[in-house]
Amino acid sequence: MMAGLNTVAHLLSGVGTITGEHRTMPNANPEGTSISFREAFASALGTLEEGEKRANDAVVAFAGGAPLPLHEILIQAEEAQLNLALAVEVRNKAVEAYQEIMRMPV
């Protein structure tokens, strides 16, 4: 699944070059500076990947005999699953919006 998300990130990396613009979201982060959509999307994908890796590492460590609390492992796994489901839903909404725009008469 991460390969698909990396492909989406790679495709979006050219968005600014296609339009020739660099759009930013004003005051999108706590420092008050603006960040581009590409940076925000890459950050979100990075967070998703980190969560999945953390959950996977915890499961592997627990299976290897590490003294980890089972409830913490289950919480990490559930968080990773929910984050992935959210990412899929956001992708679905983006695809629906794109398809709706493509159906508009010119």
The string of pLDDT tens digits covering residues 40-74 is 889 999 999 999 999 999 999 999 999 999 999 99
Check residues 34 and 102 and name the one with the higher pLDDT: 102
Q: What is the pLDDT of residue 2?
A: 52
The greatest distance separating any two alpha carbons of the chain, rounded to the nearest whole angstrom, comes to 62
Q: Flag whether pLDDT at 27 surpasses 60.
A: no
Phi, psi of 69 (to 5 degrees): -65, 130
- Residue 19: pLDDT band (50, 70, 90) is very low
> What is the Cα–Cα distance from 10 to 24, expressed in whole angstroms?
19
> What is the Cα–Cα distance from 36 to 24, expressed in whole angstroms?
4
